Amino acid sequence: MGIKRNKIYAAMIGLLAAVAPTSVMANKNAEVSRNLEIYSTLLRELDMFYVDTFSVEKTVETGINAMLNKIDPYTMYIPEREMDDLKFMTTGTYAGVGSVISQRDSLVMIQEVYENSPSHKYGLKAGDVLLSVDGEKVIGSTTSDVSKKLRGVAGTSVKVVVKRGDKEVTLNIVRDNITISSLNLAKNIGDNIGYIHLTGFTTGTADLFKTELKKLKQSGIQGLIIDLRSNPGGILSEAVDIVGCFVEKGTKVVYTKSKIKEWDETFSTTKDPVDLDMPIVVMVNGESASAAEIVSGALQDLDRAVILGERTYGKGLVQTSRSLPFGGSLKLTISKYHIPSGRCIQAIDYARTRENGKKFVIPDSLTHEFKTKNGRIVKDGCGVMPDTVYTGDSVPAQIVYQLYAKNIIFDYCTKWAAEHPTIPSVQDFKFTDWQDFKNFVVSKDFSYKTEKEKLFDALVEKAKKDSTYEAAKQQYDALQMALFRCQDEELDKNKDEIIQLISTDLAQRYYFQKGASEESLKYDKETKRASDILRNKNVYNAILSTFKKSDK
């Protein structure tokens, strides 16, 4: 058998062994050995006798992934070729050109360019269509395939040919190490209120947070908004250090419970705080998870911040990486974490999910009550429930959704940006070319149908079946023209929301992610609600001192 197959077998056996820690294997050694032998023998039989050739590596990976998918969504096998992705998830750093690409039919396009990246420095722009990379055509390729071609060792060059409007542009880009900061924006938003937006918890996030917090304090802020909406989490210790900015040194923030008692850990703050008294509002939603829930939940349990928004995701599981043979890794769930009140916010019981085959969301009847520092009632098993519920803005109108989903807004912004080399600062920028946008929509044969048009189509279909359509065709045509005019009215009716999307896209093209966040703040009603709470000390203090009665 070849060296490659031996490596595959060894990786598979190493993975299965890693799933069961040593102390557990002592009790189940016979069972584990028996199943390892069955798996190994079965694979060898397939390899030697199956009628057609097949990839051993892909077959093993399929089996491994199917096995781990039954455990939970976070336990996964990472082969050597994907280790850069694991590094990026934890550090926010990779080597490449520094842009986000997206798929549109058979084309791969530049969706976003990172500030000060090689893509930015060498002239790639959002809306560019990739034609070839290092001489290889990429039309018909997937974003995954193209991403692999664009990534590479820092300092190496890659030749990229793109279509920009009606022209082909050739760029020779020198790759570099790309670091995506998880601190997207830190700003004094007025009325002496600071705002910090975190998109994740990668290596160094807490240090960045502390630096920006100190700058905001120097600017005179008297209240702080921490925006953790749609933050998927990341490194636990970074979350602990951020909480440590606001509580006494030595405060217990989170502790973990594992199957292996030696792995149980307690995480307390280790550094002097930055501010112990400043009022804080933390904004969360249903996509705030993991480390974002540690920050919001711990600050809630310690009555150090008001939590505003929606119930969070409910991920109370901790993962670690364990090395496997031949450069691979196992990202493995090893414990559950508990925040200061003692609660675990995990919302899905994966043990019961495996038993029943359906996702088992912990019902309210099985949750337990805990108390915050001030004695307020909080519960486990349901994520972090906000102190003040804010469900966000209303669902966008169908026409707005269709303009976004069908890339009409993105393509218009590509055209507009090509015609305008610069714009004022985000603070001073205001999009005013509404009629130009409407003309663009018409030129693209936008096929959105209003609810009235859908009803009209159903009426015509019925009339044709009833053989009454031809007799009244003239009237139907007149009604159809009237309904077409309704589309123009629908655009005007939703003008403000559409302009917000256009303005945010344009702000990102000229001022990158920070610009998009700044522009979004102009329209963010939840941030305004958070500011109102911070400005009213009586309301703020009342929220944190109210004893909530049990729902049981």
Q: State the pLDDT at residue 455.
A: 74
Residue 357 included in any domain: yes
Lowest mean pLDDT among 87-101, 155-169, 289-303, 358-372: 87-101
| Confidence check: pLDDT of 1 > 50 | no
Contact assessment for residue 410 and residue 374, using Cβ atoms and an 8 Å cutoff: no
Residue 223 and residue 268 in one domain: yes
| Confidence check: pLDDT of 405 > 50 | yes
Q: State the pLDDT at residue 41.
A: 92
Residue 198 and residue 171 in one domain: no
Residue 138 and residue 193 in one domain: no
Contacts of 74 (CB under 8 A, 6+ apart): 315, 317, 319, 331, 333
Q: State the pLDDT at residue 550.
A: 42
Could you list the residue range(s) of the whole structural domain that residue 29 is in? Answer: 3-69
Residue 548 included in any domain: no
| Confidence check: pLDDT of 70 > 90 | no
Q: How far is CA 172 from CA 124, 130, 169, 180, in A?
A: 10, 13, 10, 22
Residue 342 included in any domain: yes
Residue 237 and residue 135 in one domain: no
Rounded to two decimals, the pTM is 0.85
What does the pLDDT average to over 192-211? 96
Confidence class of residue 450 from pLDDT cuts 50, 70 and 90? low
Q: How many domains does the chain have?
A: 4
Confidence class of residue 309 from pLDDT cuts 50, 70 and 90? very high
Here the CATH number for the domain that contains residue 140 is 2.30.42.10
461-508 confidence digits (pLDDT tens): 777 777 777 777 777 677 666 666 567 888 999 999 999 999 999 999
Q: State the pLDDT at residue 551.
A: 40
Q: State the pLDDT at residue 549.
A: 45
Residue 354 and residue 252 in one domain: yes
Helix H or strand E segment including 93 = strand 93-96
| Confidence check: pLDDT of 26 > 80 | no
Residue 255 and residue 385 in one domain: yes
527-542 confidence digits (pLDDT tens): 999 999 999 999 999 9
Residue 189 and residue 219 in one domain: yes
What does the pLDDT average to over 176-191? 93
Residue 151 and residue 191 in one domain: no
Residue 265 included in any domain: yes
3-state SS of 380-415? CCCCCCCCEECCCCCCCCHHHHHHHHCCHHHHHHHH
Residue 76 included in any domain: no
Domain end: 392, 416, 446, which one?
A: 392
Burial of 164 (0-12, 13-18, 19+ CB in 10 A): middle
Q: State the pLDDT at residue 90.
A: 66
Residue 422 and residue 516 in one domain: yes
Residue 435 and residue 523 in one domain: yes
Residue 159 and residue 203 in one domain: no
Residue 130 included in any domain: yes
Q: In 70-204, which ranges are continuous DSSP H helix?
A: 83-91, 118-122, 143-150
Of the two residues 2 and 189, the one the predictor is more confident about is: 189
Residue 88 included in any domain: no
Measured on CA atoms in the order 307, 313, 314, 317, is the torsion positive or negative?
A: negative
- The overall average pLDDT reported for the chain is 89
Residue 492 included in any domain: yes
Domain end: 145, 164, 179, which one?
A: 179
Q: State the pLDDT at residue 552.
A: 38
Residue 49 and residue 125 in one domain: no
224-268 confidence digits (pLDDT tens): 999 999 999 999 999 999 999 999 999 999 999 998 888 899 999
Domain end: 129, 159, 179, which one?
A: 179
